[in-house]
Amino acid sequence: MSFGSPQFDLDEEQRDADTRVISVAGEIHVTTAPEFSQRLNDAIAAGTRGMVIDMSGVEFIDSTGLSVLLNGLRRVTRADGKLALVVTNPTVLRLFEITKLDSTFDIQPTREAALERVQAAGGSSDGAP
């Protein structure tokens, strides 16, 4: 029995000089997390201080994917930036609740709300751990 390649799509949009949106769809797990991690790290290294990760198209995330998000949050916060997630899938949202990461991340129901959160912060780490 063979398994097909996991569904995983990632797009980036530079909203302004300091704000970037990374849209992820499909599955974030041990085989797709390295690409996700690299793209997130590249965005942070490029000076992005307002980061929105739109996960509205994510169907599954495992502990490897959560680790990528935590590392990204740590790096953005150290750079005096702000990171917000868009999570709409109830199963994915439940994982954040079960792991208590819903209190660690700024989780918003829409991309617009997440953009308001990171842009209103003006690059400050208000509300970030």
Q: What's the rounded Cα separation, in Å, for the pair 62 and 59?
A: 11
* Token pair recorded at residue 3: 């398994």
Q: How many domains does the chain have?
A: 1
Domain contains 96: yes
Q: pLDDT, tens digit, for every residue of 107-123?
A: 999 999 999 999 876 54
Decide the pairing of beta strands 82-86 and 8-14.
unpaired
* Token pair recorded at residue 1: 């029995």
Domain contains 126: no
Domain contains 124: no
Q: pLDDT, tens digit, for every residue of 31-67?
A: 999 999 999 999 999 988 999 999 999 999 999 999 9
Task: Indicate which CATH number applies to the domain containing 111.
Answer: 3.30.750.24
56, burial (CB in 10 Å: exposed 0-12, middle 13-18, buried 19+): middle
Q: The pTM is what?
A: 0.88
Domain contains 101: yes
pLDDT given at position 89? 97
Domain contains 18: yes
